């Protein structure tokens, strides 16, 4: 189940990156559509990071 979610997120991240590249090239970095895709990309990346953290949490040692 986790692997399927990670694969789907990876595909979505790649799609959002491609969309952002094309939109930025055509409309500039401050266009509302570019900002929207940037937000989608950020949300997907954060979800991916959360899944990775759940699978492999950082172990903090006390000194």
The tokens describing 36, both together, are 């929207």
pTM of the model: 0.75
- pLDDT band at 59, cuts 50/70/90? low
Distance (Å, rounded) from C-alpha 40 to C-alpha 15?
Answer: 10
Element spanning 37, H or E: helix 32-55
CA distance 6 to 16: 15
pLDDT at 60 over 60: no
- pLDDT value at residue 37: 85
pLDDT for 2-55, tens place per residue?
Answer: 888 889 999 989 988 998 899 999 999 999 989 988 998 999 999 998 988 888
């Amino acid at each position: 189940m986790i692997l399927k979610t990670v694969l789907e997120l990876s595909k979505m991240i790649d799609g959002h990156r491609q969309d952002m590249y094309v939109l930025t090239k055509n409309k500039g970095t401050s266009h509302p559509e570019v900002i929207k895709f940037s937000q989608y990309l950020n949300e997907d990346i954060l979800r991916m990071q959360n899944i990775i953290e759940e699978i492999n949490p950082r172990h903090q040692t006390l000194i």
